[in-house]
Structure 1
Amino acid sequence: MAKKFLLVLGDICENDEKQDKSKWEELGPWAYGSFGSGILVITRMDSVVLTIAKVIKKNKETFKLQGLEEDQCLKLLNSHVFAVVENPNDYKRLRSIAGERVKELSGSPLAVKVSGDVLNSSLVERHWTKVLNIDFVSPKLGQDDIFHILRLSCMFLPKHL
């Protein structure tokens, strides 16, 4: 007798254009759970969802997550930038710059966190100007832009690292 389950596959990506469907065939038996069972695939790539749906012979139902609202981004950015500061209000100019920065991050929590952590390394306006002059985010964050965002954190690693 089939059992009810929820299988969650997180951060699945496709390595090349010619995705090998055979590696997903192991999911075939999972398509026959009892009523209410499901497979949740978390990915940035529609092609991954299409491939898995074909292999398990089920219709795909997708939910595209939207980015954070600007005020949520600002709150998250400030929590990373001023994490070790007793009184963030002492940094009015930097808080103003942070307010402008969130508009460029397209609501991406990853971009906000990375930016905040890099900016946190030095609460000096000159450092912030240097960081913020790097064009690492496009107006619409896509799967390729994630690597640009992560590259930012590597570019500003402390010298001993």
Structure 2
Amino acid sequence: MPNYINWFAYDELMNPRVFKEHGLEANASFCVTLSAHKLAFNKIPVDNQGAEKLGMANVVPAPSNLGMMEGIMYEMDESFLPKLDEIYLYPNEYLRKKMRLTKHDFTLVDGIVYIAQNERTNDDLMPSKAMLKNFRECKKNLTMLYLSRLMNTPTVD
């Protein structure tokens, strides 16, 4: 019997197309929230593709522990963990933490969350339009309020 992991995607990998392009497969996926945290585009990319101030998605604590962020929880075979570590360049670029997330039926579920190493962040960074386009394709899985806030994020281009 295979062992499964729960992994929280909050970046472009929420997009089913991008998820599959990375060679990932899931047994199940569902929308979850992470309380007291917010999405920030403050991760310094390994390759900024020539775009100054380009930032990648990251999880950061919310001020005063208020607020929440949304994402997709993927239930996957544990054999995909090395692939996820490779995608996130763990442990050099990201930490891997187990955190408690909330399903929309208010049940709690533990999941793996990749969070950028502090020394690999800069608060003056922004996403690209292409990155936000990948988020837009997640509209079936995210609330309209969360998605509309994402789409109004200033970009580098």
Could you tell me the TM-score, scaled by structure 2's length?
A: 0.21
The structure with the largest strand share of the pair is 2
Indicate the structure whose relative CO is greater, using CA pairs within 8 Å and at least 6 residues apart: 2
Q: Who wins on radius of gyration, i.e. which is larger?
A: 1
The structure with the largest helix share of the pair is 1
Could you tell me the TM-score, scaled by structure 1's length?
A: 0.21
